[in-house]
Structure 1
Amino acid sequence: MELGMQLVQQQALKLAMTQEMRQAITLLQLTAPELKEYLQQQELENPMMELKEKSSPRTGSGSREAEFLDFQAAPEATLQEELASQLRMMSLEASLLRQCLLVVEMVDDNGYLTPGTPPDWEEEKWESAVAGVQQLEPAGVGARSLRECLQLQLERHFPEEAGARLIASDYLEALAEAATPEELAERSGLSVSASARAAGIIQQLQPKPGAAYGSSRAEYILPEVYIEPSENGWDVFLNDTALPEMYVSREYQLIEQEADGDAKAYLKRKREQFEWIKSCVQRRQETLLQVTKELVRRQERMLSEGADQAVPLTLKMVAEALHIHESTVSRATVKKYAQTPKGILELKSFFHSGLKSGHTVHSVKKRIIEEIEAENRGKPLSDDKMASRLHAEGIAVSRRTVAKYRTEAGIPSSSARKKQRR
């Protein structure tokens, strides 16, 4: 009997710890406005909990003059919640499900995969996870460019329309500039009727597949961290007005001391709940500050000189430096913003994938754009020739990688560029 009671108590403790850990994880990934709303709801439900708004931020720093960037009311279900729900209903292996859920966290409100660095996975695993997300509804979600977004929708809804796929792939600029089907036909090589049909189909597509979704609440975007230059490098500190101060209610503390029986047990439980929430919030703030300081330490040149000076930096690199899990770094940075001398930046923008040559994806894309802008207009550079030029500079990329980066930059193929310039 005694052993049975011990097992029941152990199971109850394990369940409670699991629920508490879930709560801690949830609070870490919430934005400051979302967390503030959560705390206000907890205050209504917990008599032992009191909140007090903090005073206005210190003045004198131009970078702190305007904290709130945007305000947007949106439908009840968020796009990310909808995508995560679809994934959990699919029969995916646990590892692939986790990877797809991380990809979902990198999808913005318009349905596009945010630019920046994918997690530190092998390219094959990353592309598999992205492909998994791109199979979800709405069609086009998880795309990395407008071209890819339209192609995904055409493959899903108009698989037989080769003309529309050709226009979406190679002649989007021509479609935007052409006043008539005849002009589009001349530039694309399709017949006039095929051009008209393709244009009509593409006009039915959704350039922002996530636009029907949004935040389930009125969402403010504000910096939670300040990054400012100093004599010794950079100062990093939290926006101490983003969240209210939390107190134990003095009134109900006195009531708890005088109460007995069920009333005393109830107030004790509520006080413990408050203490746990407060510790979770403190841990969230400590993690956010810790991660941001590491990002700044790694990307000092990016902050002082611009994005093209960023060095390769991944979730794994930060996680290993801080001895925490990659998912913790991801949750601490998604939809979190910092006020910097370069403006307000999302913490995710500090991550940049690196190539074996040590160059970042951003810098390679910049070189591709520069080469194309300077190319012979009558003899545009093919992706093969571009890869060869980059190899000569010590940038080891394949033709497929060049094609991928060129497409993501919204640049047509060499044959399409040649036709456009005739």
Structure 2
Amino acid sequence: MKQNLAIQQTLQQKYLLTQKNQNALEVLKMNHEEITKLVLQFAQRNPMFACRFHQEKGYEMMDTVHAPISLKEELYYQLHTCKTSIREDIAAYLIESLDENGYININEEEVAHAFQVTLQEVQDVFTILRTFEPSGVFAKDAADSLYLQCLHMGNTKGAYLLKHHADAILSHDLSSIAKQMNLTIEEIKDILHSIRKCHPYPCAPYQTQTTINITPEVDIIVEDEEIRIEPISVFTPSLHQEYVSMMEEHPQLKQYFQEASIFVDMLHRRNASLLMIINELVTLQKGYFLYHDELRPCTLKDIAQKLGMHESTVSRALHQKYYRFEGECYAFKQLFSAMTCQGDSADGIRKAILSIIRQEDKHKPFSDQQLVIKLSAMDLKVSRRTVAKYREQLHIPGSSQRKLR
């Protein structure tokens, strides 16, 4: 057989994430407190770097906020930065369907019908969501949550035991399990001991509150129905120009000068990128700031597409960042609102439910089904179950508990 050796040229485009770009992304993710710490550390080791701190303004702008750790906010961030292809509209609906323990009990066929997709497509979304942190979220119950955690930990025997012998575990029938798995009772006890390292309610920490001191990134001010965004500057970075003339005599200063120049440029780019993202987000939610309207449906993907950025960049930029509005501090991620499977804003539906209940006859309060009808008249299409979920999120009791005797 005659063989021919041929050389073929191909043009392939690759993006290499340089160390400089990696550093820029890390700086973009930092909040005021983290940036301040980094700046102080850099100033100590680089004589060319100068930084003037606005002490009085920094202290004035520091606020104490009670920030609830939200499971859903954490899941949305994982969703929008997920590297695996996923139907985000279905995923958002499933996230909104979680109960307070992070469990989900939903008919997958109904979801498939609502989104006009195949059952397999819904199951594919579920499969990805069940890999999210905290490990065990999107489980059907406590046993299923323990099963997911065992899989995540690589505890295959524990996962098998929970999947195939859950009833026997509850009845403490270890001899039956040992016989079926061809193991000794001591080996079964060892597996059960490994399972106890998992938590049946892994989402419990998200139901707590923590108090933190934060410095907001911007002030959002409304005057004459105009929105103004004012950056809150804690410090001003610069270079020691008086040392520039000494660089010829002291070559080491050149290296310091280059490093300081790159660092200052990185800080400026961080602020510019953040302001660009904030401006787009505030513009999209201007009705909320001007008239206290409900939040418009908005995701990280929406903002990223408008600015020509990657979703992960937007996610990093807004990570643990806050704005001040009407004297209160809020996390930027609170400006993102999910969309129901019918395309309505979840925030808008919650506000509508609250408004209807405030105006109801307290002697004849509306049932959840009556709320569904009232919402439908407002062109808000939701199920009774969804109404019940949103009502509980608003800490509003059922109709029987609201009725005045």
TM-score class normalised by the smaller sequence: 0.5 to 0.7
Which of 384, 399, 402 is the matching residue for 2:387?
A: 402
Say if 1:50 and 1:152 are closer, same or farther in 2 by CA, change over 3 A: farther
Q: Secondary structure at the match of 2:352?
A: helix
Q: Secondary structure at the match of 2:205?
A: coil
Which of 95, 113, 134 is the matching residue for 2:84?
A: 95
- Report the equivalent of 1:164: none
Which of 318, 335, 339 is the matching residue for 1:333?
A: 318
For residues 106-138 of structure 1, the C-alpha deviation after alignment (integer angstroms, 9 at most, x for no partner) is 9xxxx999xxxxxxxx996887665433542xx
In 1, Cα distance between equivalents of 2:24 and 2:378: 47
Which of 262, 266, 269 is the matching residue for 1:276?
A: 262
In 1, Cα distance between equivalents of 2:215 and 2:377: 44
CA-CA distance at 1:27 after TM superposition: 0.7
| TM-score between both structures, scaled by the size of structure 2 | 0.58
In the TM superposition, what are the counterparts of 1:195-274 in structure 2 within 5 Å?
A: 209=205, 220-231=213-224, 233-240=226-233, 242-248=234-240, 250-251=242-243, 253-259=244-250, 264=251, 266-274=252-260
In 2, Cα distance between equivalents of 1:359 and 1:211: 26
Say if 1:296 and 1:402 are closer, same or farther in 2 by CA, change over 3 A: same
For residues 34-67 of structure 1, the C-alpha deviation after alignment (integer angstroms, 9 at most, x for no partner) is 111011112223333232213644xxxxxx9941
- Report the equivalent of 2:64: 70
Say if 1:155 and 1:368 are closer, same or farther in 2 by CA, change over 3 A: farther
Which of 295, 315, 319 is the matching residue for 2:304?
A: 319
Say if 1:243 and 1:133 are closer, same or farther in 2 by CA, change over 3 A: farther
- Aligned residues of 1:387 and 1:397 also touching (Cα < 8 A): yes
In 1, Cα distance between equivalents of 2:403 and 2:203: 23
Paired letter, 1:209: P
> Which structure has the larger Rg?
2
Say if 1:20 and 1:55 are closer, same or farther in 2 by CA, change over 3 A: same
Q: Does residue 41 in structure 1 map to residue 27 in structure 2?
A: no
Please give the root-mean-square deviation of Cα atoms over the aligned residues, in Å.
5.0
CA-CA distance at 1:153 after TM superposition: 6.6
- Report the equivalent of 2:276: 290
- Aligned residues of 1:226 and 1:338 also touching (Cα < 8 A): yes
Q: Secondary structure at the match of 2:350?
A: helix
In the TM superposition, what are the counterparts of 1:149-188 in structure 2 within 5 Å?
A: 156=145
The alignment covers a number of residue pairs equal to 306
Which of 370, 378, 390 is the matching residue for 1:393?
A: 378
For residues 137-191 of structure 1, the C-alpha deviation after alignment (integer angstroms, 9 at most, x for no partner) is xx7xx79xxxx9xx97787579999xxxxxxxxxxxxxxxxxxxxxxxxxxxxxx
In 1, Cα distance between equivalents of 2:142 and 2:206: 13
Q: Secondary structure at the match of 1:302?
A: helix
For structure 1, the 5+ residue unaligned runs are 1-13, 58-63, 73-77, 88-92, 114-121, 162-203
For structure 2, the 5+ residue unaligned runs are 1-14, 103-116, 148-161, 168-199
Say if 1:349 and 1:410 are closer, same or farther in 2 by CA, change over 3 A: same
